[in-house]
Amino acid sequence: MDSILVTGGGPLSGTIPIAGAKNACLTLMPATLLSDEPLTLTNAPRLSDIRTMSTLLESLGAEVSALSDGLVLAMSSHALNGNRADYEIVRKMRASILVLGPLLARLGEAVVSLPGGCAIGARPVDLHLKAFEAMGATLELRDGYVHAKAPEGGLRGGEVEFPFVSVGATENALMAATLAHGTTILRNAAQEPEIIDLAKCLTAMGAKIEGAGTDTITIHGVPKLHGATHRVVTDRIELGTYMLAPLVAGGEVTCLGGSRDLLEAFCAKIEEAGAEVTETPEGLTVKRANGPMKAVNVETEPFPGFPTDLQAQMMALLCTAQGESTLEETIFENRFMHAPELTRMGAQIDVQGGQAKVTGVARLKGAPVMATDLRASVSLILAGLAAEGTTRVSRVYHLDRGYEHVVTKLRGVGAQIERVREDG
């Protein structure tokens, strides 16, 4: 098992290329199941979660080829030979549930294991299932699997009102509705850039979709979707993560391919804390505006609010900001598991339920720490950039699920970081 060693030190300087969005690509890949013609995705991120989704699609009979060093995914579902997504694959990743809608829409029947992934609290699939029921499907949970069946003749258009915003349920329902008979309306729909990106891809495949990016999406079902080529949107979470690096360590970094519209609330919050963010033709350039960073209060919200997937990284920044900050996590429970690890580095953090109070310290100290989930792992690396001495981050297999070449990218802007093999 590998670990990452980070030695805090001087400021960062240079450029970091931002990859295609993991969360977008994992949603776009199951869209191939909706058509018997090829779907090609460009600007794909090279991550273990992408390989897991490829394995899942191949288990259903789809063909998936990684081209151009993995930056292009060529897929075809012309010869599907299964409608069962087994636990052994699905348990590795929450996004696996996104094959349910496409399989149900195209084949009329699907059996999908309840998913796994990061241990950051309950993320029930109830909203997905209720959306399919609104389209006429019958569903049964049995032995850890969702058994779903469309009505005779296929799914029917329906009205779905989500009781709270769910990105995954919006994506699953959106894909299923493209082949449903009639019109489907999704109310209180998620508005994330990944939803817009999925709608663009589905539209390129022949779907009829209105309102993506708003809280009401209307889908007029079509009999058949065709092939398409689509470029995966920039990963806004990777973008935000690397924007924080020069704020933690000092210096100035340009994140290539970044744009402010992907992260407006996040940009506003780090500017409040003392960052200077400049949009250029190349991307976003970030540095401290004037002296040390200052404490701010953060509340995670669905898009366009502050992303929950940047909460852990923001906490790493606030550990050395002047004053007391409050972070309130409103999306997922148990998402402060990085806090005890940061305290091992000298951070002052008090967690009470869904709220964490962070009192900034002058300097963190390097220590052995353990990653508990994907975003926590990179938050510990960021904290290491601000620490005196060396920080050893173990269990970094979480990191490989969401960040490609993190050591290379940070080393390219001057960070002292390396990946090493742990004994045993």
CA angle 280, 253, 389 (to 5 degrees): 170
Q: How confident is the model at residue 116 (pLDDT cuts 50, 70, 90)?
A: low
> What was the pLDDT predicted at 423?
63
- The pTM (predicted TM-score) of the whole model is 0.89
pLDDT tens-digit map of 329-362? 998 777 899 999 999 999 999 999 899 999 999 9
Annotated binding site: 22-23, 94, 123-127, 309, 331
Q: What are phi and psi of 272, to 5 degrees?
A: -60, -30
Strands annotated E in 101-188: 109-113, 138-142, 145-149, 159-161, 183-187
- Which candidate, 280, 261, 99, places its Cα nearest to that of 192? 261
Q: Is the pLDDT score of 90 beyond 80?
A: yes
CA 15/CA 412 separation, integer angstroms: 8
Annotated binding site for phosphoenolpyruvate: 22-23
> What was the pLDDT predicted at 56?
96
pLDDT tens-digit map of 117-129? 444 344 468 899 9
Q: How confident is the model at residue 397 (pLDDT cuts 50, 70, 90)?
A: confident
Q: 45-59, 95-109, 238-252, 325-339: which range is least confident on average?
A: 325-339
CA 218/CA 228 separation, integer angstroms: 21
**Taking a C-beta distance cutoff of 8 angstroms, is the pair 375, 311 a contact?**
yes
> What was the pLDDT predicted at 335?
80
Full strand arrangement of the beta sheet holding 84-85? 84-85, 109-113, 145-149, 138-142
Full strand arrangement of the beta sheet holding 216-220? 159-161, 183-187, 216-220, 208-210
Q: Which residue has the higher pLDDT, 366 or 331?
A: 366
Mean predicted confidence (pLDDT) in 60-71: 97
Mean predicted confidence (pLDDT) in 51-77: 97
Mean predicted confidence (pLDDT) in 154-166: 96
The SS3 assignment for 391 reads strand
**Beta bridge mates, 237:** none
pLDDT tens-digit map of 270-318? 999 999 999 999 999 999 999 999 999 999 999 999 999 999 999 999 9
> What was the pLDDT predicted at 332?
78
Catalytic positions, written as ranges: 118
Q: Is the pLDDT score of 408 beyond 90?
A: yes
Annotated binding site for UDP-N-acetyl-alpha-D-glucosamine: 94, 123-127, 309, 331
Q: Which residue has the higher pLDDT, 95 or 111?
A: 111
CA 43/CA 65 separation, integer angstroms: 14
Under 8 Å CB-to-CB from 307, ≥6 apart: which residues? 236, 237, 240, 263, 265, 266, 300
> What was the pLDDT predicted at 32?
98
Q: What domains sit in the chain, N to C, each tagged with a CATH number? A: 2-19+234-421 (3.65.10.10), 22-231 (3.65.10.10)
Identify the DSSP state of 197.
H
Q: Which residue has the higher pLDDT, 66 or 399?
A: 66
DSSP-assigned letters across all residues of 12-48: EEEEEEPPBPHHHHHHHGGGGGG-SS-EEEES----H
Mean predicted confidence (pLDDT) in 243-266: 97
Identify the DSSP state of 68.
T
> What was the pLDDT predicted at 27?
97
Q: Is the pLDDT score of 224 beyond 60?
A: yes
Full strand arrangement of the beta sheet holding 390-394? 368-370, 390-394, 2-7, 416-421
> What was the pLDDT predicted at 94?
80
> What was the pLDDT predicted at 124?
64
Q: How confident is the model at residue 179 (pLDDT cuts 50, 70, 90)?
A: very high
Q: 106-120, 138-152, 238-252, 320-334: which range is least confident on average?
A: 106-120
Average pLDDT of the chain, as a whole number:
94
